[in-house]
Amino acid sequence: MDFDALRDKVRARLPRAAGRSWYEIKNAEGDVATVRIYDEISWWGISADQFARDLAGITAPSIEVQINSPGGDVFDGLAIYNALRMHPARVTTRVDGMAASIASVIVQAGDHRVIVQSAQMMIHEAWGLCVGPAADMRAFADLLDQQNDVIAGIYASRSGGTVEDFRALMSSDLYLTDAQALEHGLVDEIFVPETQASATLQVQAGGTVDVETLVAALERLAKPAPAPAAAATEIPAATGGEPSPSTGAPPTTHADADAEAFLRALLAHTKETQQ
């Protein structure tokens, strides 16, 4: 049976096959190319031949691979892992939601491996189906053990752990939180996304102050005032009488006033919380 032909035939009949790609590559010739793997890695989803062909066309010096996948075919996953490892670009892999099974192996292809806060990973032993006599069943069991050693070896090489330790962890479906994945050495960093609200400081007594405006105002306030002129310039009084000297002090801007109001409100809030 020609399994490649059967796979292509099945894919063509899937409703979503004509509607969207199995994965997405953007900015292939820019500074940072983005590769999004948001599907199964197997017959029904992302195959190694498709992926490797498109990956080879990326000329960007950096690649970010965004992953949210339940896993899939071991051999396709290993081929994708190796294609990423051999690409000349610097590769960052990022777990956006779930990197399960062989998808967790693809994560290890990154020169830098990131998991977004609250995303997860799942590792386990390879499994499969076999039809045939006892000899075929025994041979298939040996093949599964071999794949488990290969996968555990990849985890160990990237984490600094041992194959034996990871084989023990893989003995059951092990779901790892972001912190646990970092603890086991399967990622290098937990990425905490910034929200739009974090760009503004909230103060009960003083409303809101944009961070950039505050920093700019504080920098101006921190600069020493210019030295007074040798002789004061006399400016006629608006209503007559004696002339009034000009000090040459710079005018106060709205940004400075905002910064001062913010600092006063922050100081008052701090005193309240300490009481």
By annotation, the residues acting in catalysis are 101, 124
Whole-angstrom distance, CA of residue 228 vs CA of residue 48: 74
**What is each CA distance from 247 to 42, 73, 153, 254, 260, in whole angstroms?**
77, 78, 75, 20, 22
In this structure, what token pair is assigned to residue 249? 């002090």
Whole-angstrom distance, CA of residue 200 vs CA of residue 89: 36
Whole-angstrom distance, CA of residue 46 vs CA of residue 41: 5
Contact 145, 126 (CB under 8 A): no
Residue 57 backbone dihedrals phi, psi, to 5 degrees: -85, -5
In this structure, what token pair is assigned to residue 64? 């970010």
Contact 69, 36 (CB under 8 A): no
CA angle 245, 248, 249 (to 5 degrees): 120
Closest CA to 27 of 60, 54, 57, 3: 60
Give me Rg for the CA atoms of the chain: 31
